[in-house]
Amino acid sequence: MDDVELLSSFVVPCRYDHASEGQFREIRDRRLRVQLEKAYENVPYWHDLMDDARIRPGEIRTVDDLSRLPLSTKDQIVSRPTRDRLGSDPSKLIQRYTSGTTGPPMEVYYSIGFILSTLIYLHGHFRRWYGLGRMFKVLQISSVSPAAPSLVSKPGEAARSPAWQRRARGEATRPGAAIFWPAIDRFVRSVHFERRIETVLPVIKTFAPDVIMINASYLRMLADYAGETVESVRPKVLISTGEPLDEPTRSYVERRLGSPVCQMYGSNETGSLALDCLEGRNLHIFSDRAIVEVLSKEGEPVRPGEMGEIVVSELLNQGMPLLRYKMRDLGYASSEVCPCGRSLPLLKSVEGRQIDCIATRDGRLVTPKRILALMHSAEGLPRCQLVQRSRDSFTLRVFPWSGVRDPNPDGLISELVGALRSELGSQVDISVSRVQVDEPPKRKMRPVIVQMSSRPEPYPIS
């Protein structure tokens, strides 16, 4: 992104919240043209893709022309050497990995301008959308140690910046670092746990965050095990990330922890893409920063209210540009207007990864979010995972370690099996298997796993 863009995001971080259609068009078209030109000039992957498709970057002038550009998948992008997908030398960029929940982790790179503008953008949006003070504190909770080696910490201990660690050891730091890093440390912390989420409670208590960012399933665990601690701190908002948030979980967590739950959608590759407002609890797309398309199997935009695959063109990261990138997530398009009055368009719902969708005999796709909603419809159910073995054969794995309050959950489990059968078709066979492990898994657990050897792609876009 150029300096003017960066400066403007510093000065007015929420300037497009109430933008008109014309203003959106203007900023998106302009940023798209710059991004395409730079990608063509500096990044071999995009240069070759456009050459192969016989497109010159100047021919795509507006968002309406974007459909001429072919879609790209993660596999296509990682099939090229790393340098071929970067806009500059990797030593000038900031590197992270994707989670690798569905395949090998992918190295992703951000320009420093992109990181800065994202931080400022999110700071402005959290503050204004959730009514926070200027100096609010954010705690990020995850189950894996932060990817940057300099931030590695022990489970249950807040990760500290490298400069903070050097200062703690009495070593010299760069000029300015003595002010900058402690200031960041004061307001942003990240902590991880292995298996037991209770280990992060001391950090929550002492740091007293205004915002907690956490995966939806861990948020549920936090509500199971940490009700009193979180309630005593009373964060202003809990932000669920990384997994679809089902409505039973949202209301369960809000009831137990006493703070509103909002969701943020995005990925490590693309950065943050959409955020829930407090008033309508609707996911507003950061339309000035990214173009989000929801496409049918034919590759056409779906109608509002219909489900399709989410495809993203990120407009600001010139470190590793991503254009018409298939997120492999399904979501619902929307043309609704949010009661909060913001004009940032809505993404009605993010339903989860398409490879975790179950194709029913009558041709429907049952999404992970739908299955999660059924699994969470009754309180007192232990944690479950649905495994599809063949078209009509499923195993419901039940984990006895997890949050069982009802000493005899058998009744609830058979109710769940009934609900799953009416969702998936009465002909399906669902066997229940109790998984005899004492401890929760180390990493996040997918609610649905499809283990069929010859399985057609559930949502191929032609």
| Residue numbers at the binding site for Zn ion (CB under 5 A) | 277, 280, 282, 338, 340
CB of 17 to Zn ion, least distance (A): 9
Given the complex with Zn ion, which of 274 and 371 has the nearer CB atom? 274
CB of 235 to Zn ion, least distance (A): 20
Q: Three-class SS of residue 370?
A: helix
Given the complex with Zn ion, which of 60 and 238 has the nearer CB atom? 238
Given the complex with Zn ion, which of 311 and 344 has the nearer CB atom? 344
Given the complex with Zn ion, which of 40 and 265 has the nearer CB atom? 265
CB of 263 to Zn ion, least distance (A): 12
CB of 338 to Zn ion, least distance (A): 3
Given the complex with Zn ion, which of 43 and 211 has the nearer CB atom? 211
- Give one DSSP letter per residue of 115-149, joined into a string: HHHHHHHHHHHHHHHTT--TT--EEEEESS--SSG
Distance of alpha carbon 229 from alpha carbon 195, whole angstroms:
18
CB of 277 to Zn ion, least distance (A): 3
Given the complex with Zn ion, which of 58 and 341 has the nearer CB atom? 341
CB of 346 to Zn ion, least distance (A): 7
Tokens of 94: 């900031």
Sheet containing strand 307-314, strands side by side:
158-159, 188-192, 138-142, 211-215, 237-241, 261-267, 271-276, 283-285, 346-353, 325-333, 307-314, 290-295
Given the complex with Zn ion, which of 34 and 340 has the nearer CB atom? 340
Tokens of 127: 């503050």
Given the complex with Zn ion, which of 285 and 357 has the nearer CB atom? 285
CA torsion through residues 363, 368, 369, 375, sign = positive
CB of 344 to Zn ion, least distance (A): 8
CB of 460 to Zn ion, least distance (A): 33
Strands 346-353 and 325-333: antiparallel
Beta-bridge mates of residue 274? 265, 285
Tokens of 428: 């399906």
Tokens of 304: 């509002």
CB of 16 to Zn ion, least distance (A): 14
The C-alpha angle with vertex 293 and arms to 287 and 295, in degrees rounded to 5, equals 165
* Packing angle, helices 368-375 and 247-257, rounded to 10: 50
Given the complex with Zn ion, which of 124 and 441 has the nearer CB atom? 124
- Smallest CA-to-CA distance from 199 within 226, 224, 236 is with 226
Tokens of 218: 């861990």
Phi, psi for 159 (deg, rounded to 5): -70, 140
Given the complex with Zn ion, which of 283 and 358 has the nearer CB atom? 283
Which helix (H) or strand (E) covers residue 398, if one does?
strand 393-399
CB of 260 to Zn ion, least distance (A): 13
Distance of alpha carbon 73 from alpha carbon 76, whole angstroms:
5
Which helix (H) or strand (E) covers residue 99, if one does?
none
**Is 258 within 8 Å of 231 (Cβ atoms)?**
yes
Please count the other Cβ atoms lying within 10 Å of the Cβ belonging to residue 273. Answer: 24
Burial of 363 (0-12, 13-18, 19+ CB in 10 A): exposed
CB of 343 to Zn ion, least distance (A): 10
Tokens of 112: 């420093």
Tokens of 442: 């180390």
